[in-house]
Amino acid sequence: MNIAANIDHTILKPTTTIAEVEKLCTEAVQFGFAAVCLPPPFVKRAATILAPTDVKVATVTGFPFGYSATEAKVAETILSVVDGAHEIDMVINLIALKQNDWNYLQKEVSLLREVCHNKGRILKVIIESGILSDGEIISCCEKLGSLGIDFMKTSTGYAEKGASLEAVHLMKQHLPPTVKIKASGGIRDYAFAKALIDAGASRLGCSSSVAIVTGSPEHQLQNY
């Protein structure tokens, strides 16, 4: 399986440099990754570099903790879209989730979906599955997945637990068929990446993308 087209080649550390962003974009084109995912300040530069290619530019909103005010998330998303982002990975308000305030969460997600879809952009909703119970994951799938979002994403990569096969299986079972799954956080080798795709993920967020694809059986065979 060639999984490069399923990968969002990612760098989101707070010390990211422009040189690292340029390298990320070069690798994304070289290996055929679906998108680069990077901090909002670098969206404009990445969009310029990748304009002649099919690689999309993704960025984050409310990252990594999700407790920014909804108004701040909307403003952040609008600026990223203006700068050239094709895809927005938004962290839900986990404080609201833990208080079972689904009205707040649904309003927030609906607003962000409207901002993205009005401009033809993709919205991925990050629920941080590694720190949620199965019941909370199911509720996210049922209550937020019905709002017309494009993807539900497992994790930011900043919690104590990232993507898991169990979470992807659970999301696959309870999301509407129109909502795709992005798994991220702790994906460092081809075997785990493939297992997540087999479990139902359509996208993977990886900072070890090059190691993953060069470690695949297909790539190893091509080099002999």
| From 89, 124, 150, 180, the catalytic residue | 89
User: Is 89 tagged catalytic?
Assistant: yes
Domain 4-222 adopts which CATH fold?
Answer: TIM Barrel (3.20.20)
**pTM attached to this predicted model:** 0.95
Q: Give the tens place of pLDDT for each residue, 152-179.
A: 999 999 999 999 999 999 999 999 999 9
Q: Contacts from 15-22 at CB under 8 Å and sequence distance 24+?
A: 16/42, 18/42, 18/45, 21/45, 21/46, 22/49
Residue 9: pLDDT above 50? yes
Note whether 73 and 113 are within 8 A (CB).
no
User: Is 153 tagged catalytic?
Assistant: yes
| From 56, 124, 180, 182, the catalytic residue | 182
Q: How confident is the model at residue 78 (pLDDT cuts 50, 70, 90)?
A: very high
| From 56, 73, 124, 153, the catalytic residue | 153
For the chain, domain boundaries = 4-222
In angstroms, the CA 184 to CA 182 distance is 7
Please name the residues in contact with 169: beta carbons below 8 A apart, sequence gap of 6 or more.
199, 200
In angstroms, the CA 54 to CA 168 distance is 27
